[in-house]
Amino acid sequence: MRKKIVLILAAGKGTRMKSQTPKVLHTLLGKPIISRLVESIIALNPQKIIVVVGHEAEIVKKALENYDVETVVQEPQLGTAHALMTARKQLEEEGEGDLLIVSGDVPLVPIDELGFFYKMFSESSDIASLVSINLENPYGYGRVLKDFEGRLRKVVEEKDATPAQKTTKEVNSGIYFMKIPEIFEYLDKITTKNEQGEYYLPDLFSLIYEKNKKVNSFKGSIPERYLGINSQFELSRAEEWLRVSVIGKLLSEGVTIKMPDTVWIEPEVSIRSGAIINPFTKICGETVIETGCEVMSFSTIIDSKIDTGTIIREYSLIEKTSVGKNCKIGPYCRTREGTITGNNVKLGNFVETKKAIIGDGSKANHLSYLGDVKIGSKTNVGAGTITCNYDGKNKLETQIGDNVFIGSDTQLVAPVKVGNGAYIGAGTTITKDVPEGSLAISRVNQKNIEGWVEKKKKREG
């Protein structure tokens, strides 16, 4: 078996994005363009992936940290063939192999078709091949010129093309297959004698053609998916394509999605059939939503697990949270990282939770902050309850048992424990542990002064 090696070219500046962020780090439905591409390339099972970085090299390298890829830095960037020259040493170490070269900005490339071309190329005697596509408007692309037998003979860039050559609608997609080490003798012959004064990678094709004709091309069947993302407009179009395909798949699997054109669901999300997703919702990251759940409008769910039968009501923000079965969350609820609820839990409007472990059947229906807290089962947290978990320096924990009743407007100054079955009177500030089964109350006794209003009026004349 010959080795499969993939080279991703991502050193360019991406000028047309008009952005401070390197082009390949703009996100496409929640993940950087380059990460989406690398993840899809991994499906081809290559022995090695090398990414050529240059512009903002350090930031791009950092974004690739979690992938099994090598990087090489191309500085300065003298053209696409120069990018290949920069990686030459690493490629030569691999001995014999089939090299796939792709630009870093084609995250939607149809990977199955690419895999098929890869196999055909591998089994052929060609030294190099490219994927061409037909475009109604080929402006800006390298035109693919063929000989009388229909074999690729040369690629000519827009800026170097004659008016006659410019009428060609078949263009170079910028995806190549090459045999190593055979390719290197031709690479040495590439010059910068062209309009842009760059080392053009497509020049390899005419060099090989002239020597032995061992070049070829494959025709990509879905042109728009081979096109790179070069501008904000193209990014938004690619993102829309991916969004529609994610939603289409979920619909086909039995998820109900109302007004799907208003719904944002990222590719890593799993939603089981029988769940209902309402208009204007956003579901992101590694979220899992089980059957029988309903997500109401204007809610956002990020990296969370929502178990069977749970309803996330309007305007809620659920992040890094695990919600149990048959819970009612929201409207206007915000759960933050480390929130874990049991089953049949209710968190109502304007309740914020963080690192909160909440047992089965417990409720906080209105206006609360529950942070760094463990709450048992069937406990009722009254409106306006606050866990005072921060002393200015440290985060401190509150523990509340089962079947506890916490009256409205209670503050629990952590660290503090409330035993099972305890009652806390409304308006209480808890600063000491409350033993099991007891009532805690800390309020100034109420005093009524009869006739006070009448006297006041008289005083004031």
**377 close to 362: Cβ distance less than 8 angstroms:** yes
Partner from Ca ion, ligand UD1, none contacting 141, C-beta within 5 to 8 A by type: ligand UD1
202 binds ligand UD1 (CB under 6 A): yes
Nearest to 245 by CA among 36, 105, 34, 66: 36
Partner from ligand UD1, Ca ion, none contacting 9, C-beta within 5 to 8 A by type: ligand UD1
Binding residue for ligand UD1, selected from 22, 30, 104, 401, defined by CB under 6 A: 104
103 binds ligand UD1 (CB under 6 A): yes
Nearest to 11 by CA among 64, 77, 59, 69: 77
Q: In whole angstroms, give the CA distance from residue 321 to residue 105.
A: 33
Q: In whole angstroms, give the CA distance from residue 29 to residue 246.
A: 10
172 binds ligand UD1 (CB under 6 A): yes
Q: Which residues bind Ca ion (CB under 5 A)?
A: 228
71 binds ligand UD1 (CB under 6 A): no
Q: In whole angstroms, give the CA distance from residue 5 to residue 159.
A: 31
Beta strand ranges found along 118-268 (DSSP E): 128-134, 143-146, 152-156, 170-180, 215-219, 256-257, 264-265
Partner from Ca ion, ligand UD1, none contacting 77, C-beta within 5 to 8 A by type: ligand UD1
For ligand UD1, give the closer residue by CB, 228 or 330.
228
For ligand UD1, give the closer residue by CB, 141 or 369.
141
Binding residue for ligand UD1, selected from 12, 220, 382, 401, defined by CB under 6 A: 12
Amino acid (one-letter) located at 42 = I
For ligand UD1, give the closer residue by CB, 79 or 342.
79
Partner from ligand UD1, Ca ion, none contacting 371, C-beta within 5 to 8 A by type: none
Least spacing, CB of residue 174 vs ligand UD1, in Å: 3
Partner from Ca ion, ligand UD1, none contacting 131, C-beta within 5 to 8 A by type: none
**60 close to 10: Cβ distance less than 8 angstroms:** yes
228 binds ligand UD1 (CB under 6 A): yes
Least spacing, CB of residue 171 vs ligand UD1, in Å: 5
82 binds ligand UD1 (CB under 6 A): yes
SS3 36: helix
Q: In whole angstroms, give the CA distance from residue 8 to residue 32.
A: 15
Of the ranges 33-41, 98-106, 326-334, 353-361, which one interacts with ligand UD1 (CB under 6 A)?
Answer: 98-106
Binding residue for ligand UD1, selected from 35, 71, 74, 216, defined by CB under 6 A: 74
Cα maximum dimension of the chain: 114
Question: How many other C-beta atoms can be found within 10 angstroms of the C-beta atom of residue 456?
Answer: 9
For ligand UD1, give the closer residue by CB, 49 or 155.
155
Burial classification of residue 163, based on how many CB atoms lie within 10 Å of its CB (0-12 exposed, 13-18 middle, 19 or more buried): exposed
The dihedral formed by the CA atoms of 116, 33, 160 and 223, expressed in degrees to the nearest 10: 40
Of the ranges 74-82, 180-188, 269-277, 376-384, which one interacts with ligand UD1 (CB under 6 A)?
Answer: 74-82
| 26 counts as catalytic | no
Residue nearest to ligand UD1 (CB): 142
Residue nearest to Ca ion (CB): 228
11 binds ligand UD1 (CB under 6 A): yes
368 binds ligand UD1 (CB under 6 A): no
Q: Annotated catalytic residue: which of 26, 55, 82, 366? A: 366
For Ca ion, give the closer residue by CB, 173 or 335.
173
DSSP-assigned states of every residue in 337-372: TTEEE-SS-EEEEEEEEEEEEE-TT-EEEEEEEEEE
Q: In whole angstroms, give the CA distance from residue 135 to residue 158.
A: 14
For ligand UD1, give the closer residue by CB, 22 or 309.
22
Total number of residues that touch ligand UD1 (CB under 6 A): 28
Q: In whole angstroms, give the CA distance from residue 28 to residue 37.
A: 10
Least spacing, CB of residue 169 vs ligand UD1, in Å: 12
Amino acid (one-letter) located at 333 = C
Centroid of chain to Cα 370: 29
The binding site for ligand UD1 (CB under 6 A) comprises 9-12, 52, 54, 74, 77-80, 82-83, 103-105, 141-142, 155, 157, 171-174, 200-202, 228
Catalytic residues: 366
